[in-house]
């Protein structure tokens, strides 16, 4: 029968002890070093270390058990997606009313701005025009426009005519003759009006220097009127024809006021 040696060198002596670490509930054991370190959850890391010196009379083993952080569950919950994050607010009725009011105000402002720039009508031009006989007698050059209330091109060009008239009204006469008025039959034949609007450019003596017919860029009218205002012997655009309404479609009516220049 074999003997079991009782020598202290043959057997390792274990002197276990337990030590409670404050706030971490740690369990420590010696000899030999065994460490359990928590990862994010529970016991994830195990480290073993043998006694490097077996001749020592005592060795140590150390066991460290630490519970997972008591804030892990709280952290996981706080980092989880919130059910209301990223969802747009549903517009309420008051917000919709504000949008409607702002849209209405914008529409009114747009209408008014368009009215100020482009709201000039043929009636406005006729009211501001000089009578034909007076224009021929005052010694200024004259622009005569033959028009009709039903002429679409005439209505479209009214804002451009108004702007040029406001620029040169002190130097040039502006006359409006309605082709529906039988009073102007002689002038229609004299100036050879076949389409409207028809613009005739007269010098200071009442002689025609040129004419422009129909829808054309404003520069044609502007350059001709400028030449008249400067007393040029001719206009740069003596005969230009654009899109126009036929004068043969005029609606002849009885003259209400023979003195009317419209």
59-107 pLDDT per residue, tens = 444 444 444 444 444 444 444 555 555 555 555 777 777 788 888 887 7
Contact 127, 172 (CB under 8 A): no
Catalytic residue set: 151, 154
Strand partners, 63: 34
Q: In this predicted structure, what is the pLDDT of residue 110?
A: 59
Cα separations in angstroms, 108 against 33, 94, 115: 86, 21, 10
Separation of alpha carbons 61 and 41, rounded Å: 24
pLDDT digits (tens, 9 = 90+) for 125-172: 999 999 999 999 999 999 999 999 999 999 999 999 999 999 999 999
- 164: tokens are 């040029």
Q: In this predicted structure, what is the pLDDT of residue 106?
A: 75
Whether 202 shows a pLDDT value over 80: the answer reads: yes
How would residue 247 be classed by pLDDT, with cut points 50, 70 and 90?
Answer: confident
How would residue 253 be classed by pLDDT, with cut points 50, 70 and 90?
Answer: low
Contact 177, 126 (CB under 8 A): no
């Amino acid at each position: 029968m074999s003997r079991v040696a009782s020598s202290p060198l043959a057997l390792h002596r274990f002197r276990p002890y337990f030590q409670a670490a404050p706030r971490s509930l740690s369990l420590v054991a010696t000899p030999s070093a065994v460490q359990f370190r928590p990862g994010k959850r529970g016991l994830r890391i195990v480290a073993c270390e043998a006694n490097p010196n077996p001749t020592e009379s005592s060795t140590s083993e150390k066991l460290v058990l630490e519970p997972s952080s008591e804030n892990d569950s709280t952290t996981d919950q706080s980092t989880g997606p919130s059910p209301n994050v990223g969802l747009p607010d549903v517009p309420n009725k008051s917000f919709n009313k504000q949008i409607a009011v702002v849209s209405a105000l914008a529409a009114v402002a747009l209408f008014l701005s368009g009215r100020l720039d482009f709201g000039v009508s043929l009636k406005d031009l006729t009211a501001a025009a000089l009578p034909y006989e007076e224009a021929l007698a005052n010694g200024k050059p004259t622009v005569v426009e033959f028009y009709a209330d039903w002429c679409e091109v005439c209505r479209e060009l009214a804002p451009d005519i108004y702007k040029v008239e406001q620029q040169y009204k002190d130097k040039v006469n502006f006359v409006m003759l309605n082709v529906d008025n039988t009073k102007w039959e002689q002038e229609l034949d004299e100036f050879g009006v076949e389409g409207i609007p028809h613009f005739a450019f007269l010098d200071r003596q009442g002689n025609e220097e040129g004419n422009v017919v129909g829808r054309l860029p404003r520069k044609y009218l502007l350059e001709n009127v400028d030449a008249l205002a400067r007393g040029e012997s001719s206009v740069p655009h003596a005969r230009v024809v654009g899109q126009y309404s036929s004068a043969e479609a005029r609606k002849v009516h009885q003259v209400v006021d023979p003195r009317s220049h419209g």
